[in-house]
Amino acid sequence: MKILYTLLFITLLFNTSQAQLASGSVAPDFTVTDLNGNEHQLYEMLDEGKIVILDFFATWCGPCWSYHQTHTLAEIYETYGPDGTNEMFVMTIEADNSTNVDCIYNLPGCNDSTIGDWTDGTPYPVINDNISASRYDIAYYPTIYIVYPNKLVYEIGQRPYDDIVAWKENAPKLQEGLNADVIHFNGLNGGTCYGQYPAGPTYTLSNMGEETITSFDMTMSLNDEIVMQDQWTGSVEPWGILGEFKMPTSIISENAMIELKIENVNGVADSGFTYNSEITLNSRSKINIRIQGDENSTAHGNQFRVTTATGDVILEGTISDNQLFETSHDLNTKDCYTFEIFDNAGDGIDGEILVTDEKGQLLYEQGNRFWSSDSNNFNVTSTTSIAELAENAINISPNPVSDQLNISLDFEAQGVKVYNAQGQLMTLDNFNGSKNLSINVEEYNSGVYFLNIQENESWYTQRFVKL
């Protein structure tokens, strides 16, 4: 059976600053040995259909200890682990390279600091390994991930027992027969300036069916013109990764439609799918900055600035102690801009740092605490007049959202769609000319989603984050 996936993907056109592995990414494989000498390989467990919890912690981390003391992960392991239903596995990994094993046991030989004996009341494997943590770019503790058998990883944080069970119940399932599927799509191929974009999307395919896949035909197209054809052969069992496939890079200067078509899986004519994605060169003409200072902001010289590609400073400011700084600035010319944030003491700001464009799309966020400085590049491909913005205004709140997404429009909507980051349609509604809408997203998994709203023959897209 042929399946059609459609994703209206609005390119952000900026280079992301380094942060830890994002939810919805393909989990890197690793093999670790626990404190009892037992070896554990992540993909081996995932290929068995197990869901894996990864708890990255540090022995000196107070929040880590507080969550450890709730014994939530211990209860999950006892119920769903090897001695329970054998559906899940839990590993806790001490990821700070500066601490030794004695710190985990709270022994006198600890070379740093520890809060207690981390093995006490821990039925699941305890591991001392910073190499696996580096593969996930762990930036803060605790970082707790859930990894599904299809190899996709999601950060879940310090969730209570029932929430983790709900994540388990929402795990992807194998389908009957043949089912090659896209589990991860990356439409971005680096930021750029002056209205040109290197379109070279990458697709990660997995075997999401109950039968082993040995072959399929693949076609990639840009604006209905075939740019690549190939025949894949191999042998991948259920849950296995078929591979990462990249479309040849093409420079575009206007909106474009890209398509991946998989056909003739195992030689079966009526099998496969088509995955369509629209790359839209997005206009932005305003930068919104929100920075919450901490108690040392003045003493540590916390400041920010926005510069052009030639280094000209067009906006700068200082951050005061415990004060919320907010400003907006119009960007009137096409250019490649850089947002920079500084701390002279080298210990960052313990507060929110959020930079967006006029459509609410993310330009910079302090996902991890920076040290002396951090920066992010973003691009203005074209400017938008106030009249145009007023005509096509879309306001969504709150963003990020936990339950109810509220939408206010300056035009009458004919239809609304919501897609997740994998291009799966979550919501499809007709609102018959409504200007004020609401969508219940409480049951959505945490992650990035794309809201598409129709006005006559046009579709507009907004990005939002589900907590």
Provide the CATH number for the domain around residue 393.
2.60.40.3080
Query: Is residue 77 predicted with pLDDT exceeding 90?
Result: yes
Mean pLDDT in residue range 370-390: 55
In a domain, 266, yes or no: yes
- Provide the pLDDT for residue 89: 98
**Kind and range of the H or E run holding 389:** helix 386-391
**Full residue range of the structural domain in which residue 407 is found:** 386-466
- Total domains present in the chain: 4
| 326 and 268 together in one domain | no
| 128 and 203 together in one domain | no
Answer yes or no: are the C-beta atoms of 112 and 57 closer than 8 Å.
Answer: no
| 46 and 164 together in one domain | yes
The position carrying tokens 């983790």 is: 164
Q: What is the dihedral of CA 225, 230, 236, 240, to 10 degrees?
A: -40
| 260 and 354 together in one domain | no
Mean pLDDT in residue range 255-263: 87
Backbone φ and ψ for 164, nearest 5 degrees, come out as: -65, -40
- Provide the pLDDT for residue 386: 33
Q: Nearest to residue 206, comparing CAs of 26, 2, 42, 7?
A: 26
Tokens of 426: 């979550």
| Segment among 42-51, 358-367, 395-404 with least mean pLDDT | 358-367
| Segment among 41-50, 152-161, 186-195 with least mean pLDDT | 186-195
- Provide the pLDDT for residue 56: 95
| 302 and 270 together in one domain | no
| 189 and 236 together in one domain | yes
The percent helix, strand, coil of the chain (3-state, each to 5) is 10, 45, 45
Give Cβ neighbours of residue 138 (< 8 Å, ≥ 6 apart): 20, 56, 95
| 390 and 435 together in one domain | yes
Query: Is residue 66 predicted with pLDDT exceeding 80?
Result: yes
Mean pLDDT score of the chain, rounded to an integer? 82
- Provide the pLDDT for residue 430: 58
Tokens of 28: 């890197």
| 231 and 116 together in one domain | no
CA angle 168, 29, 20 (to 5 degrees): 80
Tokens of 450: 């794309």
Q: Nearest to residue 446, comparing CAs of 166, 155, 139?
A: 155
pTM for this one?
Answer: 0.61
| 87 and 219 together in one domain | no
Q: Which of 10-24, 73-87, 186-200, 304-318 has the highest mean pLDDT?
A: 73-87
Q: Which of 119-128, 323-332, 368-377 has the highest mean pLDDT?
A: 119-128
Q: Which of 150, 169, 188 is the last residue of a domain?
A: 169
Q: Which of 364, 380, 396 is the last residue of a domain?
A: 380
In a domain, 1, yes or no: no
| 207 and 271 together in one domain | yes
DSSP character at residue 265: G
Query: Is residue 71 predicted with pLDDT exceeding 90?
Result: yes
Q: Which of 380, 403, 418 is the last residue of a domain?
A: 380
- The dihedral built from the CA positions of residue 246, 251, 255 and 257, taken in this order, carries a sign that is negative
- Provide the pLDDT for residue 15: 32
DSSP character at residue 147: E
